[in-house]
Structures are given as structure tokens and as C-alpha cells.
Structure 1
Amino acid sequence: MAIGFVFASLFLGEVRDYYTRFWWWDIALHISSGVLLGILGFLLVHIMNEVERIEVHMKPGFVAFFAFLFALGVGALWEIFEFTMDSLFGMNMQKAMLEDPSGLTDTMWDLIVDALGALVISLLGWRYLRNPQQASYLERWIGGFVERNPRFFSR
């Protein structure tokens, strides 16, 4: 997912000019960055919970809350980076949006969709931690795929 995100933002977004060709391109990338950063934040804390050497055992609500805030914090740092590049080097990273030439509307929508992507992952992670014995959707899907295609997975 991370490689796909980098490809979509750098090559398609900048080189192929998708940011200006498709009004929704920046929004889609910010949703996916919220998802990716939410996963990263969730894994950071969840792995600490699972390591026996570390005497910290956080509740599922805190893990989900941390994942959400981690993703939102990194998204905010990115927006500060965009503002700095625009201000100091005359770049145009904060695009005009909805008749707002300042880029403020772009920044706010970027943060909103970052939060939505992070919220989805946080809620899914919270649900997963609350019901560890219940197989996740991905586990059920993989198991079903293996059962339906035994010739690919038999020895």
C-alpha cells in the first residue's frame, strides 16, 4: 500500500499532473495516507502490547485513540511542511480550492479526510482488539479463498 501511495502521489500526481486533472485526486491520497498512518500508529502500540519484555498493556480504546492521533498528527505536520515550502520557496503545494486562492480550504479538507481515514482504521483496530477470538474479515476472506481453491494450496 505504501509503494502504491508513493507511486500515486509522485508519479501520477506530480509527473502526470493528476492533482489538477482530477479534482478528487488529493482527497483520495489524503484518505489513503490517513489509513496508512493509522495502521502504522496502531501497529506501533499494538506490538508494544504484545512484547513480553515491555510491561505495558494498553486497553483497546487507548490503542485506537493513539492510532487516530498519530495519523492526524503526521497529517498536520505534512500540512505545515506544505505551508513552509510554499512560503519560503514559492512552491504551490497548497492548491487553490473552491474559489479560495489561499490554500486554507485545501489544508482543511486534507486534514478532514486524513481524520476520516484514520478514524476508519482506529475503529477497525479497536474492534479487532475487543474481540481477539473472532476472525477478522481479512482472515475469513483468506480462509475462504484457500478452501475454495485447494489445488493451489495442497502439497
Structure 2
Amino acid sequence: MNLLNLCEIIFRCTLFALAVYHMFKRDFKLLKSLFLVFALSFLPELSHALFQIKIDAFSIFVYWIILFMALYLGTSLYFYDKYKWWDRALHFLSGVGFVGFGIAFAGISSGIMKLVILFFGFTFSITLHVIWEVLEYISDCISHGNAQRWQKVNASVNHVSEKAIQPAGLVDTMNDIICCIIGAGVTTLVWWFIL
């Protein structure tokens, strides 16, 4: 058993224990996010089984952390509103983790130069974030939500500095993308020495 398999067992057992706890407490709203985290945690294994895409252990581990931080802690337990740094840390980690996914996708074809693989991993990570921001925007438009912190009056004042001259939604979106770019850039430099 390797370290990733051990982490996988611990991660899924933790999700199960939390689900049992919330069922006992009759807090069924939180079960939805735990089920979603559990289901999405199989995505790397599914990509390997269906498309023979082998994602490295570190990127998978970071992906699990992102799922748990975003869906359970961030959304269900309102950590986005409680902690000013939560959203930025999550987008930084996403930038880190998804570079590995991009490298795995580019690595399918052998004979590609190292620089091209790294560039693809970097742009893949950023593209996923742009798509995520577009989905947040569409979700806000359809459901009148506040995922992009565009509302002038909202419970979450943590995402925008009082000195910001731009609207809150723009500041939140740009901070998310900048954190992703920094995370993806740092990770790409690290991967330069690993590949």
C-alpha cells in the first residue's frame, strides 16, 4: 500500500464519519456536500480507467483537499464568509493542483517537449479557473446568488478591501484568477525540475 492509497482510505473514512455524524444530528443539508465531495473524489481514478490518464499522487491529494475545502468547509460551513483568506487560499491550491492534471493530459502523447507540457499544464489550470468563474457568473444570474460577491449588501464582506475602488464582484473574481495564476506559476516552476 502506498501513501496515496492510505490517504485515500483516510479521506473517504473521514467523509463517511462526517456523514454519520450529520445524520445523527439530523443536519441533512450538509450530507449533500459530503456526498458530492465523495463522488467527485473518484474523478482521477475514472480518468485513468476510461482514458488511461495517470495523474500524479500530489495533484490528486491537492484535488481532494480542494474538494473538501470548497464544497464542505467553504460552502456548507460558510468558511468563505468566516475567513478572509479562505477563497484566495483555495484558488491558489487549485492553481497548484490542476497543473498536474494538465501535465497528465499532455503527457498522453510521448515525444512532446518538456516546455510544451509545462505550458499546457499552466494554461490548463488557468482555463479551468476561467471556466469556473464563468459558471459562478451564470449561477449568480440564474439563481440571483452571490458567488462572485457582486451584491452591494451581503453577509460576506471579507473578500473586498474597503479601499477598493472597483465593484466587489470584479475584485473577488480578479483576486481568484490572480491567486490561481500565482499557484499555477509556482507549481510549473517546481514541475520544471521534476520532469
TM-score by length of 1: 0.73
Deviations 1:60-85 (A, max 9, x none): 11111110000001100000001111
Q: Where does structure 1 lack aligned partners over 5 or more consecutive residues?
A: 50-56, 130-155
Q: Where does structure 2 lack aligned partners over 5 or more consecutive residues?
A: 1-60, 151-159
Contact 1:42 1:125 in 2 (8 A): no
Cα RMSD (Å): 1.5
In structure 2, how many angstroms separate the alpha carbons of the residues matched to 1:95 and 1:126? 36
In structure 1, how many angstroms separate the alpha carbons of the residues matched to 2:118 and 2:145? 36
In structure 2, how many angstroms separate the alpha carbons of the residues matched to 1:121 and 1:39? 8
Choose between structure 1 and 2 for higher RCO, CA contacts under 8 A separated by at least 6 residues: 1
> Which is higher, the Rg of structure 1 or of structure 2?
1
In structure 2, how many angstroms separate the alpha carbons of the residues matched to 1:6 and 1:37? 12
Mapped pair 1:67 → 2:121: yes
Deviations 1:53-106 (A, max 9, x none): xxxx11111111110000001100000001111112201101252245440111
How many residue pairs align between the two structures?
122
In structure 2, how many angstroms separate the alpha carbons of the residues matched to 1:114 and 1:126? 18
In structure 2, how many angstroms separate the alpha carbons of the residues matched to 1:88 and 1:101? 20
Superposition misfits of 4+ residues, deviation over 3 angstroms = 99-102
Mapped pair 1:44 → 2:44: no
Aligned twin of 1:31:
92
